[in-house]
Amino acid sequence: MYTTELQKTKAVDAIEDPEKLAAFEARVAADDFIEPKDWMPEAYRRTLTRQISQHAHSEIVGMLPEGNWIGRAPSLRRKAILLAKVQDEAGHGLYLYSAAETLGTSRGQMIEALHSGKAKYSTIFNYPTVTWADIGAIGWLVDGAAIMNQVPLQRTSYGPYARAMVRVCKEESFHQRQGYEIMMHLCQGTSEQKRMAQDALNRWWWPSLMMFGPPDENSPNTAQSLRWRIKRETNDELRQKFVDITVPQAEAIGLSVPDPALHWNESKGGYDFGEIDWEEFYAVVRGEGPVAKERMKARRDAWEKNAWVREAADAYAAKKAQKKQAA
C-alpha cells in the first residue's frame, strides 16, 4: 500500500543557510541520494517525515480491511496467500517506520500521531470490505495504484526511503497479480461470483482513483516535492497511468468500469475519464469515511488494550539487564 501527501505544510518557515541549501538542491538535482547524516532543509525533513510516516500508517491500517477476510478465505490456498499478503504489508509498515525514524521522529511518536488523528493514512482504507471480491479488488486496484506511485519512488531523493521502496515494490506487484487473479477467477465463475466482482469494482474504482491525491492544480506541495525529488511524478500523471493500465485489465475479464464518461482518446494516447467526486475525497480526509471510526478504533484498541504486553516486555528486559549487571 501507499499513501499520497494529505496534509499541507505551512509555507517554508525555516530560514536556511543559502549556501547549504544551494549545495543540497544541486545534489538532489543531480539525482544524488540524501542520507540520514547529510544536511537537509527543515522543510524537506518535515515533508518527508510526513510522507513516509503516512505511508507506514497506510500499510498498517491497510491490514485491517484485508484481515477482515482471512478467517473467511474460501480455500486453504487463498487463506495462505492472504495471510502472507497481510504479513507483507506489516513488513512494509516496519521498513517504512524505520526509514522515517532516520529523520529523527520515533515510531512511538508516529503511532501516537496516528491514534490522536493528527497523522493521516491513505483514504482508501476507510471503505469496507463486504464481500470476498473486495479482496480481489484491493489487490488488483489498491496494490496496483500503490505500484504506480511507488515505482518512481525507488528513485526518490532520500536514500532510506528509496531503498525501502525497492523491497516493497517487488512484493506489491505480486499482490497486484494475486488480486487480479482472484477477480479473474470470480469472473469465470457462477453468476453470484460475477455479481460480486462487478460490485466490488463499482465500489472500489473511484476511491482507487482518489488514492493518487487531489488534482495537480489543487496540490500546492507538488512543485516543491518534485524539485526535491520527494515525488517524481504528479498526482494527475500517476492517475492517468493507472487508468490507462487498468481499464484494459477490467475489459479482459469482462468487467465494466463504472464511469460513463470513460473513453479512449486517440490524440492523447490515453483514456479520458469522468470527474472525481472531490467532496467525497475531502470528507474521507477529514475522517468521515464509511468505516473510518472502525479503522481507528481497531488500531487504538490493539495498541491500548495490549499496552500491558509491551509494558511486561519492557519490565522483563529491565530485570534481565539488572541481573546481568549484578552478575
Partner 1 sequence: MPSLPPIRPEDEVRARERRGTGAFDAPAADEPDLSLFEYALRLGDDSLILGQRLAEWTGHAPSVEVDLSLANMALDLVGQATHFLNYAGAVEGRGRDGDQLAFHRDVLDFRNCLLVEQPNGDFAQTMARQFLFSTWQKMLFDHLTRSKDEMVAAVAAKAVKEVSYHEELSAEWVIRLGDGTEESRQRMQDGFDWNWRFVPELFDMDELAREAAMRGIGADLTILRDVYHAKVRSVVEEATLVLPSDQRPILGGRRGHHSEHLGHLLCVMQFLPRTYPDATW
Give least dist CB 135 to Fe ion, A: 12
Dihedral sign from CA coordinates of 239, 135, 194, 188: positive
Per CB under 8 A, which region of 8-16, 69-77, 154-162, 246-254 contacts partner 1? 69-77
Number of Cα atoms under 13 Å in the Cβ half of residue 254? 13
Q: Which is nearer to partner 1, 107 or 232 (CB)?
A: 107
Greatest pairwise CA separation for the chain in angstroms: 78
> Do 114 and 57 contact (CB within 8 A), yes or no?
yes
Q: Give the one residue of 185, 202, 220, 249 binding partner 1; rule: CB under 8 A.
A: 185
Give least dist CB 170 to Fe ion, A: 11
Q: Using the rule CB under 8 A, is 67 a contact of partner 1?
A: yes
- How many chain residues bind Fe ion (CB under 5 A)? 7
Site for Fe ion in 31-70 (CB under 5 A): 59
Q: Which is nearer to partner 1, 252 or 318 (CB)?
A: 318
> Do 272 and 262 contact (CB within 8 A), yes or no?
yes
Site for partner 1 in 93-152 (CB under 8 A): 93-94, 97, 132
Backbone angles phi, psi at 120, to 5 degrees: -105, 165
> Do 139 and 182 contact (CB within 8 A), yes or no?
yes
> Do 55 and 2 contact (CB within 8 A), yes or no?
yes
- How many chain residues bind partner 1 (CB under 8 A)? 46
d(C-alpha 15, C-alpha 235), whole Å: 28
Q: Using the rule CB under 5 A, is 5 a contact of Fe ion?
A: no
d(C-alpha 92, C-alpha 164), whole Å: 8
Give least dist CB 211 to Fe ion, A: 13
Q: Which is nearer to Fe ion, 87 or 265 (CB)?
A: 87
What is the contact mask toward Fe ion in residues 166 to 205, using x (rule: CB under 5 A)? ------x--x------------------------------
Q: Using the rule CB under 5 A, is 145 a contact of Fe ion?
A: no
If contact means CB under 5 to 8 A according to the sort of partner, which of partner 1, Fe ion, none does residue 14 touch? none
d(C-alpha 83, C-alpha 174), whole Å: 14
d(C-alpha 204, C-alpha 173), whole Å: 18
> Do 172 and 85 contact (CB within 8 A), yes or no?
no
Amino acid at position 34, single letter: I
Site for partner 1 in 46-65 (CB under 8 A): 60, 63-64
Give least dist CB 297 to partner 1, A: 11
If contact means CB under 5 to 8 A according to the sort of partner, which of partner 1, Fe ion, none does residue 92 touch? Fe ion
Cell numbers 532520500 label which residue? 158
Give me 187's grid cell: 469472473
Q: Give the one residue of 50, 57, 78, 231 binding partner 1; rule: CB under 8 A.
A: 78
Quote the radius of gyration of the chain (alpha carbons, Å). Answer: 21
3-class secondary structure, 33: coil
Binding residues (CB under 5 A) for Fe ion: these are 1, 59, 89, 92, 143, 172, 175
Chain positions contacting partner 1, by CB under 8 A: 60, 63-64, 67, 70-80, 83-84, 86-87, 90-91, 93-94, 97, 132, 182, 185-186, 189-190, 192-193, 298, 301-302, 306-313, 315-316, 319
